[in-house]
Amino acid sequence: MPLEKCRELAVEILLKVEKKNAYADILLDHSLKKASLSSRDRALLTQLVYGALRWRGRIDWYLSQFLHRSLSGTNAYIRNLLRLTLYQLLFLDKVPDYAAVNEGVELAKRHGGAKAGGLVNGVVRRILREKDKLPDPDPKDDAILYLSVRWSHPDWLVKKWLGYFGREETESLLKANNQESPLTLRANRLKGDRESLREKLRARGFNAVPAPWSPQGIQLKSAGAADQLPGFQAGLFQVQGEASQLIGYLVDPQPGERVLDACAAPGGKTTHLAELMGDNGELIVTDISVRGLEKLKHNVQRLGLTSVRPFAVDVSRGLTGALALPYDRILVDAPCSGLGTLRSHPEAKWQKDEWDIRRLSKLQKKIVRRLSSYLKPGGILVYATCTLTREENEGVVEDFLDHEKGFVLDNARDTLPREAKPMISGKYFLALPHKHNTDGFFAARMRKVK
């Protein structure tokens, strides 16, 4: 497929992400399956979509300096075409400048006529002439604006992280969020060990290396589609981020126990819990999304697990019937803003705002307090998120412990694998993109003492 078709598909995906708050990875996966693409074009389309989303903030800043109208007032298709074209010009060296400009102009004409083509041509060529001296905010005048533009994050989030992490660490985090996330697998310990899976992958020419923090993790570079990897259909592994893999060790489920995994779809942590239990016991799994539970069931079946019992339930309203019987361990994999996963989901930083943080924090507090009542005395409650805001993490746990005097906070370090014991902040588990090359994850391990 010609390169211009890749650009056209990329603009359509960017447009849907912006207009419908859609997930880029789902749209991209759909496009890759629907279109007949060479491996080179698949890689280009993926790079164009994620790159334009990662650097949208800086690109929009430059566009706002050169457009004679507001960026928000520009036609949505043309706006995203401009973003894509500038991403190619400013961040890629594989595509010649003239090709990126000409194709951008032709796409604009096709969708908006000669006037749209003239707009794209004029703006892009003016920016191209200033490519080596584009205006950036002065860090001395406004540090938040400078970091926001420089590392392409919304200013409200930069401000929040400056208060959470401080200047130096915040800039490192912002920079890390714009890097590509490695593809990480979790070896299915019920069907073999990590080394045997790694050898199988290496024998087929894949660059498979042990993940540094998780004893079951394998990292791959340039792997392509995960479902085409050797061992996928046989259930030898599950795709799961390395920080996410460590949550199962914090729960530490034992064979024969009754365990609840709440808000569990699509099932990465669920299937790991079942493996850690030796697939021996009762693992009750709930999620509000029926579609998400279908994905979970598919993963459970592929991995050959029999202890998992999924239910479509809104746990914020509590449990009823047999689901309300006491549990030995409960994992609250709370719905969150997902701001720890920006390497894989860069659109999240443009789709969330401070109101979402406040709304989610209230929901998280409600869920964890509701579910804690179903825990046996001496039982373990693990609260986990894939985000990096105090309101959704420490704030939720502190609020819970203030209200529920029958719980104490365990040190997460005590149940982490040896390799991961440094990933601790106080007694909490905290994985950070800029420190650990993982998604940002938070977890607290609490014990019911009475």
Instruction: State residue 75 phi and psi, 5-degree precision.
Output: -50, 135
Query: pLDDT of 49-80, one tens digit each?
Result: 999 999 999 999 999 999 988 999 999 999 99
User: Do residues 383 and 191 touch, judged by C-beta distance below 8 A?
Assistant: no
Could you write out the three-class secondary structure of 379-397? Answer: EEEEEEECCCCCCCCHHHH
Q: Which range (88-92, 226-230, 315-319) has the least confidence? A: 226-230
Planar angle of CA 173, 159, 49, nearest 5 degrees: 55
Question: Does the structure show a pLDDT above 70 at 2?
Answer: no
Distance, CA of 87 to CA of 71 (rounded, Å): 16
- According to DSSP, residue 24 is labeled H
Distance, CA of 250 to CA of 254 (rounded, Å): 12
Residue 25 has a pLDDT of 92
What residues contact 199, with CB distance under 8 A and at least 6 apart?
none
Question: Does the structure show a pLDDT above 60 at 128?
Answer: yes
Distance, CA of 68 to CA of 82 (rounded, Å): 14
Mean pLDDT of 424-450: 97
Burial class (CB in 10 A: 0-12, 13-18, 19+), 338: buried
Query: pLDDT of 144-153, one tens digit each?
Result: 999 999 999 9
Active-site positions? 386
CA atoms within 13 A on the CB side of 8: 15
Residue 1 has a pLDDT of 44
Q: In the chain, where are the structural domains located?
A: 3-133, 143-177, 183-239, 242-448
CATH class for domain 242-448? Answer: alpha beta
Mean pLDDT of 319-325: 96
Model pTM score: 0.95
Question: Does the structure show a pLDDT above 70 at 98?
Answer: yes
Question: Does the structure show a pLDDT above 80 at 133?
Answer: yes
Which of the pair, 156 or 223, is modelled with greater confidence?
156
The CB density around residue 120, as the number of other CB atoms within 10 Å, is 21
Query: pLDDT of 151-186, one tens digit each?
Result: 999 999 999 999 999 999 999 999 999 999 899 999
Burial class (CB in 10 A: 0-12, 13-18, 19+), 372: buried
Instruction: State residue 382 phi and psi, 5-degree precision.
Output: -110, 125
Name the superfamily (CATH) of residues 183-239.
Answer: Sun protein; domain 3 (3.30.70.1170)
Query: pLDDT of 290-304, one tens digit each?
Result: 999 999 999 999 999
Which of the pair, 132 or 343, is modelled with greater confidence?
343
Query: pLDDT of 164-173, one tens digit each?
Result: 999 999 999 9
C-alpha distance from residue 14 to each of 10, 261, 303, 362 (Å)? 6, 34, 34, 31
Instruction: List the one residue out of 217, 218, 237 whose CA is nearest residue 227.
Output: 237
What mean pLDDT is reported for the chain? 95
CATH 3.30.390.10 fits 3-133, yes or no: no
